[in-house]
Homo-oligomer: A and B are copies of this chain.
Amino acid sequence: MDKPLSSQSADEAGANLKPVNIGICGLGTVGRGTFEVLRRNAQVVAARARLSLQVTHVGTRREHAGLDLGASRVSRDIFEVARDPGVDILVELIGGTTVARELIEQAIRAGKHVVTANKALIAEFGNELFALADAHGVEVRFEAAVAGGIPIIKALREGLAGNRIEWLAGIINGTGNYILTEMRDRGREFSEALAEAQTLGYAEADPTFDIEGIDAAHKLVILAALAFGIPLQFEAVYTEGITHLKTQDVEYARELGYIIKHLGIAKQNGAGVELRVHPTLIPDHRLLADVDGVQNAILVEGNAVGPTLYYGAGAGAEPTASAVVADLVDLARDMRAGRACRVPALGFAPECVRSLPIVPMEQVITPWYLRMEVEDRTGVLSTVASLFSERGISIEALIQKAPAPGETRVQLIVLTNPALQGSVDSAVAALGALDAIHGTITRIRVEALDG
């Protein structure tokens, strides 16, 4: 093993080292936040990186009114930044998966490191981008792509490196969590809470990515790849949104001691890997149950450390910028030491990244919450119960609400013990065929989150 150089000689050299030149592409919320954080925290960042970080080139297709870009060169053609030989690190903050991908590829080919907050791009094209970066001896860093300012990528790649990660479960979409929190705390229906989130700027005009779970799926794929050493595989995620959730279910869940959260869950077990995003009942005494509003949190179960949890702002200009700047400092520290790529992109040596079978949803085992409208008459409950027991599903609780005056139908809530989804599918189909059951049967998975 080579002995490291003396750090004293490195410090002497450090005084003469050039600053790290940064090119930022995209001056939206996060781009402006990054510019501002680098400006405001320049001193503390330089003290930590032991190099000065300066933004020398900004690529923006729009006007940048109200922002003093100082001595930075400004290009309307963002590809000028990738071509600029003076830029050491290109920060991609334009979003999307077409132009952004081309921009990053050009930067890599030009020998530049890349920092990006683009979860969709990493989730969908990360494998190719990392291979290209490896071939060019540069890094693509993406701490800002998952859970904003929470350093969860670093925790998985480095902080928990001594563990086999068994599973992780995260509240990784702030918009969805805000809506669910409003539904629970103020009894609002989904559409009402969504409209409020839009008014407050927590949800986009087109909220599809957030409320249908696509954004969470992008992030989950990245977390799972880092946790298990598997390739990024966006298409493999089971994705269920929150649009069908009723305040009624949020209420009933609470009566049973559960909170409904929209979780991204990745598990590895003997059968392979589970990758799923869906509403989930979790026990109300778990820490994740107390993560409210637009906040994010990820619970990670390692086989040595046990459960650890990481909490913070999952979005917003400066929280996301915090993650971008952390990546910049990391790269500056590598560059100062004269050597990048010390940690592989997914935390595992590329030759050790291997595909594991994805567990089909029918084979996933969880407890279930089911709600159905049934005729309030003798024998219905036993019919329902026997449909479950015939399929080997044991029932933990079966609660029939008192009928409203004059009503002949009541709400029946069933909480099962852990059961194969395939068996529950079959039970629900059989229930749906009963005369005594009306309308759709609501079904939500339950997770104990206890190891």
**Whole-angstrom distance from the CB of A18 to the nearest CB of chain B?**
6
Is B348 within 8 A of A47, CB to CB?
A: yes
**Whole-angstrom distance from the CB of A107 to the nearest CB of chain B?**
14
Is B304 within 8 A of A137, CB to CB?
A: no
Q: Chain A at the B interface: mostly helix, strand, loop or mixed?
A: mixed
Residues A319 and B343 in contact in the complex (CB < 8 Å), given A161-B326, A329-B161, A351-B11: no
State the interface size on chain A (CB cutoff 8 A): 96
**Residues of the B chain whose Cβ atoms lie less than 8 Å from the Cβ of A8:** 134-135, 137
| Bound form: Cα–Cα A33–B306 in Å | 13
- Cβ of A62 within 8 Å of any chain B Cβ, yes or no, is no
**Residues of the B chain whose Cβ atoms lie less than 8 Å from the Cβ of A108:** none
Is B48 within 8 A of A161, CB to CB?
A: yes
**Residues of the B chain whose Cβ atoms lie less than 8 Å from the Cβ of A47:** 229, 348-349, 352
Is A325 within 8 A of B2, CB to CB?
A: no
Contacting B at CB under 8 A, from A356-407, are none
Contact with B along A338-360 (1 / 0, CB 8 A): 11111110011111100000000
**Residues of the B chain whose Cβ atoms lie less than 8 Å from the Cβ of A176:** none
Is A326 within 8 A of B162, CB to CB?
A: yes
Contacting B at CB under 8 A, from A13-58, are 14, 17-18, 20-21, 33, 37-38, 40-41, 44-45, 47-50
Residues A162 and B325 in contact in the complex (CB < 8 Å), given A4-B334, A5-B339, A341-B4: yes
Which of A151, A290, A330 has the largest count of B CB atoms less than 10 A from its CB? A151
| Bound form: Cα–Cα A274–B352 in Å | 47
Is A305 within 8 A of B329, CB to CB?
A: no
**Whole-angstrom distance from the CB of A297 to the nearest CB of chain B?**
8
- Cβ of A434 within 8 Å of any chain B Cβ, yes or no, is no
Chain B residue with Cβ nearest A164: B44
**Residues of the B chain whose Cβ atoms lie less than 8 Å from the Cβ of A157:** 48
Chain B residue with Cβ nearest A229: B47
- Cβ of A432 within 8 Å of any chain B Cβ, yes or no, is no
* Chain-B contact segment, one of A70-78, A167-175, A233-241, A309-317: A309-317
**Cβ contacts A to B, 13 pairs, < 8 Å:** A1-B20, A2-B335, A33-B304, A47-B348, A48-B161, A149-B302, A149-B306, A155-B155, A162-B324, A162-B325, A304-B319, A304-B322, A308-B313
Query: Which 9 pairs of residues, A with B, have the shortest CB-CB distance?
Result: A151-B159, A162-B325, A149-B305, A308-B312, A47-B352, A305-B322, A4-B340, A6-B137, A309-B311
Interface residues of A (CB under 8 A from B): 1-8, 10-11, 14, 17-18, 20-21, 33, 37-38, 40-41, 44-45, 47-50, 88, 111, 134-138, 143, 148-151, 154-155, 157-164, 229, 285, 287, 290-291, 297, 302-313, 316, 318-319, 321-326, 328-330, 333-344, 347-352
Q: With A8-B137, A162-B321 given, can you name 17 additional A-B contacts, CB distance below 8 Å? A: A1-B18, A2-B335, A7-B134, A7-B341, A33-B304, A41-B163, A48-B157, A48-B229, A50-B349, A154-B158, A304-B325, A305-B319, A306-B313, A333-B342, A333-B343, A334-B342, A339-B339
